[in-house]
Amino acid sequence: MSRIEVSTIGQFQKVYRQLKKHHILDRTKVVFCEGDSWFSTPLSMNILDWLVFELPGGDSPYKPVFGGGGLFLRKENSGDLAIDMFSKTKVKSLVRWYKAFEFDVVLLSGGGNDFVDEFLRRLFSGRHEMSVDDAFQHVIDSGRFEQVLKAYSHVLSEFARVRSKPIIAHGYDYPRLLGKKANLTLENIGLIAIFKKEIGAWIQQHIQVVLPNKNDQLVFVKRLIDGFYDRVLAVLKQKHPNFSYVDFRRTLDKDEYWHDEMHPTSEGFQILAHKMNAHINQILN
């Protein structure tokens, strides 16, 4: 059974009904996907792309969703913040979809964008040079971790009211190329590349005034990511028995695996997809 990727409710309904009509649905995993650019970036093959499409080699042990085929409803969008994706209004919409079909597993990607770009710009605007500890304390004092935790808790609780199926999220790996913008080409972004050659960066430009030392910047970003694991994902896992997450830290340990400041290359995403696929296997088998 091939993997089927759909993005609109109309397409999904049609394929779902056909699978059910021909008694194929019982052996087809139905996957609900919502997330940010690690699930959706067009700059390279992202995590979901690698999970949806057959990996090179055919007989590779890293087959998408344990190799049995699947119907994927993809609702992810680059740039989304967890506090927006999982707001009360958005979750109401997600729950309607989740109720309408018999999903086997939910894949979530979110939280990284909540701690970069505009958040960092506002947080450190007008501030002077400081230590890494002080910079991270400003993040803690902002309440951002609690906001993201609350947003995630809301969507997990609302989905649990419908059915108790596995919900799998992921954290992020430590960036290596701080300050590197994303190059836009006709191949990865289409005709927009004629007018806009690059996007980003999302981190360094907003922290270099308070943390001018490059090593301090890397340490600070590491603290941000560790904070997301410790203050959000780990807490969620303790409170929600059907929730688990994949730890990507120290996975992409070469510059060549990174496309820009925040996004891996296709090769990097493939490595992450292998790791996530193994986790999905463990949960569903």
pLDDT tens digits, one per residue of 132-177: 999 999 999 999 999 999 999 999 999 999 999 999 999 999 999 9
Pairing of strands 105-109, 29-35: parallel
How many domains does the chain fold into?
A: 1
Position with higher pLDDT, 36 vs 171 = 171
pLDDT at 1 over 70: no
Question: Which domain range does residue 258 map to?
Answer: 4-284
Highest mean predicted confidence (pLDDT) among 64-68, 96-100, 183-187, 231-235: 231-235
CA distance 184 to 253: 24
pLDDT at 194 over 90: no
Q: Does residue 196 register a pLDDT over 90?
A: no
Q: Where residue 243 sits, what CATH number does that domain have? A: 3.40.50.1110
**Position with higher pLDDT, 233 vs 4:** 233
Calpha distance 33→5 (Å, rounded) = 10
Give the total residue count for the chain.
285
Q: What is the pLDDT of residue 69?
A: 60
Q: Is the pTM of this model over 0.85?
A: yes
- What average pLDDT is seen over the chain? 85
pLDDT digits (tens, 9 = 90+) for 231-284: 999 999 999 999 999 999 999 999 999 998 999 999 999 999 999 989 998 998
